[in-house]
Amino acid sequence: MKKLLLSALVTLTVAACGGGGYPGTPIGATSVSGGGKPVTPVAISYPAPETLANDCTPQGEKSWVRSHLDDVYLWYHDIVNVNAANYATPMDYFDALLVRSRDRFSFTESQAVIDAYFQTGEVVGYGANFVRASDGRLRVSYSEPGSPAQLQGVDRGTQIVAINGTPEAQLARASFLAALYPASSGETNTFDVLDAGASVSRQVTLKATSVVGTPVQKNQVLNLPNGKKVGYLLFTDHIDSAEAPLASAMAQFAQANIDDLVLDIRYNGGGYLYIASEVGYMIGGAPVAGQTFEKLNFNDKHPEKTNDPANTMPFYDGDSNGKSLPGLGLKRVFLLTGPGTCSASESIINSLKPFVEVITIGGATCGKPYGFIQKNNCATAYFAIEFEGVNSRGQGGYVNGFAPSCAADDDLEHGFGNPNERLFKTALAYQNAGACPASAVTQALKLSATRTEPLPQRPAWRESRILTPR
């Protein structure tokens, strides 16, 4: 069985030539000469990447990179060759070869960083998750329990006014990102912050440390005036450590016999696909057990992968340890979404649609129907888009994201699960009336013309669909 990290899947077959780069381009691609004039495409045969692996010299790593992309990359036909010698590191060379007109997701990272995050949720930082609100202000969407940010009251709704004495809007991008996303433990930065509802800012100094994320921070059951019971669940990351608390929360909902579920994935950028499949089963229950959750389509070099039954993932009715999962058997589900809803989270939406009425509340999702298989070489984890995921009806291709059933701006003035929080309030109004509230319909027209990015930047591995052994 396989766990899928919905971002980019990596399988290798690439070749290396002597010197600093490759002299030709695969058929269907374009090569650029030193004078900027295109040359006639030439078919190149690259060696299998596994024959080049673990040669950790600069040239050896670059040769592996080129061979790997030629083998597994979904758009290998469209790679434009560049001179490897012009790039300082294999990671820079990898980035230069990506087809950015189609691919804004493939990435590299230290293998140690990736493994720590997806196994335990551990990441270096302050524990604060930043968003660029619709009014342009830099704010905190939520903080991890017990993190440096939360311990200093930098939590949901807090506005970042200045960083190290400079208004945040005036900072150079590099300085801005370095302060928000410190590279190592012990780094400190000073922030002028304005707490939600406050009129005067205060100053805090945050010291980066290793923060272990809590992917399921809140779950509750509301007894509504109409006599219905609604479960609310905040889910932020598809990582290994999410499996047990997700199952526990769903078991509580099953015991309470809820009528509807509101799953809050507005900040969930994805992760392991097997977690998404388990969530899908727990929502749909017995009617979806064993049905196709997602089928993976690879490039035309690997029809054996596309046709491999192992790459058609079912709705898993048991966890990775073989323990049965609770199934709610719901006919419909409400999902709170936004631009931060990406990859594996979008798989939940797409894969449930053939079986369950999926009602999305909030903003359009990020638009990432693609996935990765992590490939490690010389202590670097490479994530090149390898496949596109489709549901049981063959539907995928949602590169513009899923538009919301009911549009609503994110609300940073209320806590998660508060009935007055705008997205949750809209979901409850829909649940009660059986239709999108008129106010949300009006707002949908306004939001349809623009897409706002919720985050100035977050690590690429926070927006992923990853296939990995389960």
For 293-315, what is each residue's pLDDT tens digit?
A: 999 999 999 999 999 999 999 99
User: What is the average pLDDT across 425-447?
Assistant: 77
Q: Please answer whether residues 415 and 150 qualify as being in contact, where contact means their C-beta atoms are separated by less than 8 angstroms.
A: no
Sole residue written with tokens 């046709």: 307
- Quote the pTM value: 0.86
Residue 447 has pLDDT above 70, yes or no: no
pLDDT in tens, 74-133: 999 999 999 999 999 999 999 999 999 999 999 999 999 888 877 777 889 999 999 888
Residue ranges and CATH numbers for the domains of the chain are 2-106 (no CATH), 126-212 (2.30.42.10), 216-469 (3.90.226.10)
Identify the band that residue 23 occupies on the pLDDT scale cut at 50, 70 and 90: very low
Span of 17-21, 74-78, 253-257, 409-413 with lowest mean pLDDT: 17-21
Average pLDDT over residues 446-452: 44
Contact partners, residue 325, CB within 8 Å, separation at least 6: 247, 250, 278, 281, 282, 316, 317, 318, 319
Q: How far is CA 261 from CA 39, 215, 317, 359, in A?
A: 57, 18, 18, 11
Q: What is the pLDDT of residue 452?
A: 44
Of 145 and 455, the one with more pLDDT: 145
Please, what is the angle between helix 58-72 and helix 90-97, to 10°? 30
Identify how many contiguous H helices and E strands the chain contains and give both numbers. Answer: 11, 26
Average pLDDT over residues 341-358: 97
Does 59 have pLDDT greater than 70?
yes
pLDDT tens per residue across span 177-236: 899 999 899 999 999 999 988 999 999 999 999 999 999 999 999 999 999 999 999 999
Task: Give pLDDT tens digits for 358-390.
Answer: 999 999 999 999 998 999 999 999 999 999 999
Asked whether the predicted pLDDT for residue 39 surpasses 60, the reply is no
Q: CA–CA separation, 91 vs 68, rounded Å?
A: 13
